[in-house]
Amino acid sequence: MEKKNIDWANLGFGYIKTDYRFVSNYKNGAWEEGYLTEDANVVISECAGVLQYAQTIFEGMKAYTTADGRIVTFRPDLNGERMEQSAARLEMPVYPKDEFVKAVLKTIKANEAYVPPYGSGATLYVRPYMFGSNAVIGVKPADEYQFRVFTTPVGPYFKGGVKPLTIRISDFDRAAPNGTGHIKAGLNYAMSLHAIVDAHKQGYDENMYLDAATRTKVEETGGANFLFVTRDGKVVTPKSNSILPSITRRSLIQVAKEYLGLEAEEREVFVSELGDFAECGLCGTAAVISPVGKIVDHGKEICLPSGMSEMGPVTKKLYDTLTGIQMGTIKAPEGGVVEVE
């Protein structure tokens, strides 16, 4: 198979149409057997549940070329599981996780020519999603749905790759205490758009959202969880019921404990202790681990000791180990990496 002629090393995080996408329709209470299509357009009712009441959920994962030339994906079972939970919360039919994994592998395989080569710095981003497709005008769940998976080759999520970011504490909230922050629903992202546009206008790379109830605790950003390192080298990640349970973050905790012999703790993190940390990073599929150099709290600058020129030493070890596992240079934990055959 010949790779597409793409300037892999200079890809940003954008959409490039690839050849195939997977589609399965839900009708009369059942999912049809899905299929691959070259048609990238979706045709639905003007009154579709997704268009009127935002009934849509998604996942984000990546395919990697390993050092020995295989194509793999990382923890697809956990993405499938999370999509089941997202569907249940939005009263959508569950697309079973085993079928989800099969659909993902099939779509990656069909777009093999777009999986960036090992060492290029790029990866194939995989976007499974599902939406209410039939007409609903009273506020209620749709009866018909479409599950789809497309792929797009991507470079780093943040321009500048691993250059530390400057973020601000946002006055906007992302999620309510008993709301939908813990699932991957499109609505969570729609409501973050104004906050991110405003942050960019003010010269910040991202927002740090706080818990909506007390505004004293760190939640997450619009597209990644936080990871902190204490001055004595312990990894700390914020615990909250209203943040997305990031697969990258859960994997990094495993890496910290089992591969690097570090202590790692998931607990509430207060804004008042931000100045005590040595390192901070944003972790997610798209973000991988993007280091944060400075957090601005309404004009007050909190400068992480790791600085603005490179990743902190613990963040770097976590990054190198996780990406080593994903690219096949470090042995993966049981069930971590699934080969696309």
At 24, give phi and psi (nearest 5°): -140, 135
Is 184 an annotated catalytic residue? Answer: yes
Residues near 7 by Cβ (< 8 Å), separated by ≥ 6? Answer: none
Determine, following the binding rule CB under 6 A, whether residue 289 of this chain makes contact with ligand COI.
no
Q: Structure tokens of 189? A: 């992202």
| Residues from 155 through 174 that contact ligand COI (CB under 6 A) | none
Determine, following the binding rule CB under 6 A, whether residue 275 of this chain makes contact with ligand COI.
no
| Region of 139-147, 170-178, 233-241, 283-291 interacting with ligand COI (CB under 6 A) | 283-291
Smallest separation, CB 34 to ligand COI (Å): 21
| Region of 86-94, 131-139, 242-250, 265-273 interacting with ligand PLP (CB under 6 A) | 242-250
CB-based closest residue to ligand COI: 60
Determine, following the binding rule CB under 6 A, whether residue 207 of this chain makes contact with ligand PLP.
no
Q: How many residues bind ligand COI (CB under 6 A)?
A: 5
Helix (H, G, I), strand (E, B) or coil at 78: helix
Catalytic-labelled residue, pool 3, 102, 163, 184: 184
Of residues 111 and 180, the one with the C-beta less far from ligand PLP: 180
Of residues 82 and 294, the one with the C-beta less far from ligand PLP: 82
Taking CB under 6 A as the criterion, the residue among 63, 103, 105, 247 binding ligand PLP is: 247
Taking CB under 6 A as the criterion, the residue among 50, 286, 337, 338 binding ligand COI is: 286
Of residues 224 and 314, the one with the C-beta less far from ligand PLP: 224
At 147, give phi and psi (nearest 5°): -110, 130
Determine, following the binding rule CB under 6 A, whether residue 224 of this chain makes contact with ligand PLP.
yes
List helix spans (H) across 17-59.
49-53
Contact yes or no for 280/295 (Cβ under 8 A): yes
Of residues 247 and 278, the one with the C-beta less far from ligand COI: 247
Taking CB under 6 A as the criterion, the residue among 19, 44, 60, 118 binding ligand COI is: 60
Of residues 133 and 180, the one with the C-beta less far from ligand PLP: 180
Contact yes or no for 307/296 (Cβ under 8 A): no
Choose the contact partner of 199 out of ligand COI, ligand PLP, none; CB within 5 to 8 A by kind: none
Choose the contact partner of 322 out of ligand PLP, ligand COI, none; CB within 5 to 8 A by kind: none
Residue type, 3: K
Determine, following the binding rule CB under 6 A, whether residue 111 of this chain makes contact with ligand PLP.
no
Tell me which residues touch ligand PLP (CB under 6 A): 60, 220, 223-225, 244, 246-249, 284-285
Tell me which residues touch ligand COI (CB under 6 A).
60, 223, 284-286
Catalytic residue positions, numbered: 184
